[in-house]
Structure 1
Amino acid sequence: MLLNLPLDVVNLVLEKMEPKDLLRSRKVCRTLRTTVDKFGVSFWKISCHVCKDLIYIAFDYDSCQYVSAANNYGFPTDDEQKRYYGEDFVEIAFQDLKIVLKHVSRLCFTNDDSIDNTTCFINLLKSEECIKAQEIEFTRIPFNAVVSILPIFDSQALDYMVLLFAKSDPIEQFERITYLDQWKNAKNLRLYVSKLETSMLNMFHFENFSIGKMSNFPVEMAVKIRDDLITKSTFHSCSIEFDTSNSNPIDIAKTFKPEYNGGNKFNFEYSNNLYKFRIKYDFALFILKLRPSHETYSHIFD
């Protein structure tokens, strides 16, 4: 039996096993579960999609489906052994997720639009002392919940955040999230929220950020970007999607190029004597990039 071998040999065996096999092996017995948990199960990316009667979790390139006993459906899969049925499918899914939270680089969570099934996920995160993920992506998690669970992530490790809030989510107190160290220390951000004009200055510390879709992009903010944001040595790029019915793209172009006399679509170079930038507007998307582009981050916004 594996556990009868010397500990060094056991660890060598565990090192050769795929993460998905480690997860399965810990279900064999209590002793093996403890051994695997001490060894750790590491994944680069974990994606969790929560629906009413189904939870889909992808561990890197492997996936599991946890389905309510009342339903026999799910995402397409060639391996029926990866499906778990039962009334307690939610608990089973999140127990499996909890095992690997401490050893994941990118964590993605998506909640179905028609339900609020995030309580178990929020409680799961709150039960952890510190999660050292470098990247997180939260889709349709209530704003107040995001504010409460972000402090659980290691503020020194977290580098990249994707936050997509539901249109109906009230976030009048958006500044609350900007006080968190996780927000202050991260370098890259994708944010999907409409009413953000008064809080946009809190984006200026990011090296790269993307916002969509703002209800309004005032000329005053374009001036602030020109005179403040792009003078920072740490800034690389930003893209801002906004409603053109409340903003005039030509006025924004003239902020950077007073002699501009073209149409609503533009693409030109701008220099502030410190750096050169490529400024582009097309189909309600304003893009500003430092030139030459920084290849380390360019994939996020290209």
Structure 2
Amino acid sequence: MPLDIANHVFEKLEPMDLWVCRNVCQGLRHAVDGFGIHFNTIEFSIQDRSICISLDNETIHYNQLPNEIDTSVTYKNQEKIFEGKNYLEVALKDFGILLNYTSELKISADPKCYTRMHSKLLLKTWKWQKWNHVKKLDFSIVHLDFILDILPHFNSKGLESITMRSIHLDHQFEQITKLDQWKNTKILHLKNEAMKLCPPFKYLFQFTEFDVNAFYFSIQNAVQFRDDLLRRKTFEKCAVRFTSLDARDYSIQYAIVFKPDYHYEDEYEYSNDMGKLAFSSPYYGLFIKRC
């Protein structure tokens, strides 16, 4: 089939249909790669003896069969058996290719199912691969060592935002903050609502924008914000959401750090030599943006 006719056909197909075509034969693979595929979002979920990859809400299931030898891959009720293949190897190989066709990636894992084996297979399968197209990363309930392993595979100058949800922050968090991918990203979302944690704020101040949950927040933290964060030219806005009553009980004292004559206002302003900043909803947290 002439390439111009093939491209005319490809224009009428959804991204998932193009991905299916790509896996038919080598000729179609080259034709589809030349035409291009784009998925708005790819979701990668580690479950019990299975992996799910969702491409713009279309899901592919990779399951280890009971014989512990073969893998079943299912999409739209159509099943393909890969004999002698481990489900992780099959899923990670496809996943590594798919990451070339998206700008947003979401990864989640059942903590009971995730093991160090996932990271080892990930590194073995991807080796020196890098994905320059991904701009947004969203991690949910995965271990920090998984993030530490996967983050270097992304373009350190291409990432725009990192989101971490319900992730326990242990000693490895500091190692992640040393990566160029972390240092060069502009936006951070740290959502640990159910965890009694206070993020180490000093590692967040290089972000242009951040939104975090804080179980603990001290007067010293407020002073740190005033004397360090708010003096940075790169800072634009932040939201620190108090997740405990104790933090909310001290909200007035936090506000006084920025406005000594504070008197229960819902909104107020603070100025320094870098300009004017607006504060809002002080009882529930610190919500600050540059004016």
TM-score, structure 1 normalization: 0.76
Question: Aligned partners of 1:252 and 1:84: how far apart in 2?
Answer: 59
CA distance 1:39–1:195, shift in 2 (3 Å): same
Contact 1:135/1:159 (8 A) holds in 2: yes
Question: Aligned partners of 1:80 and 1:106: how far apart in 2?
Answer: 26
The one-letter code matched in structure 1 to 2:156 is S
The one-letter code matched in structure 1 to 2:112 is S
Give the match's secondary structure for 1:275: strand
The one-letter code matched in structure 1 to 2:102 is V
The residue aligned with 1:95 is: 93
Question: Aligned partners of 2:173 and 2:86: how far apart in 1?
Answer: 35
Give the match's secondary structure for 2:163: strand
The residue aligned with 2:184 is: 185
CA distance 1:27–1:174, shift in 2 (3 Å): closer
Instruction: Tell me how large the CA RMSD over aligned residues is.
Output: 3.1
Which structure 1 segments of 5+ residues have no match? Answer: 71-76, 292-302
Give the match's secondary structure for 1:32: helix
Question: Aligned partners of 2:211 and 2:126: how far apart in 1?
Answer: 26
1:138 and 2:132 equivalent? no
Aligned with 2:259 (options 252, 257, 260): 257
The residue aligned with 1:48 is: 44
Give the match's secondary structure for 2:201: helix
Percent of pairs with identical residues: 29
Contact 2:61/2:75 (8 A) holds in 1: no
CA distance 1:187–1:157, shift in 2 (3 Å): same
Give the match's secondary structure for 1:44: coil
Question: Aligned partners of 1:85 and 1:222: how far apart in 2?
Answer: 57
The residue aligned with 1:74 is: none
The residue aligned with 2:289 is: 289
CA distance 1:150–1:228, shift in 2 (3 Å): same
The offset of 1:174, in angstroms, is 2.8
The offset of 1:241, in angstroms, is 3.0
Alignment of 1:82-161 (within 5 A): 88-116=86-114, 118-119=118-119, 120-121=121-122, 123-161=124-162
The offset of 1:19, in angstroms, is 1.5
1:59 and 2:60 equivalent? no
CA distance 1:254–1:219, shift in 2 (3 Å): same
1:248 and 2:244 equivalent? no
Which structure 2 segments of 5+ residues have no match? Answer: 67-73
Question: Aligned partners of 1:142 and 1:279: how far apart in 2?
Answer: 34
Question: Aligned partners of 1:26 and 1:111: how far apart in 2?
Answer: 28
The offset of 1:160, in angstroms, is 0.6
The offset of 1:244, in angstroms, is 4.0
The residue aligned with 2:208 is: 207
The residue aligned with 1:300 is: none
Question: Aligned partners of 1:122 and 1:39: how far apart in 2?
Answer: 29
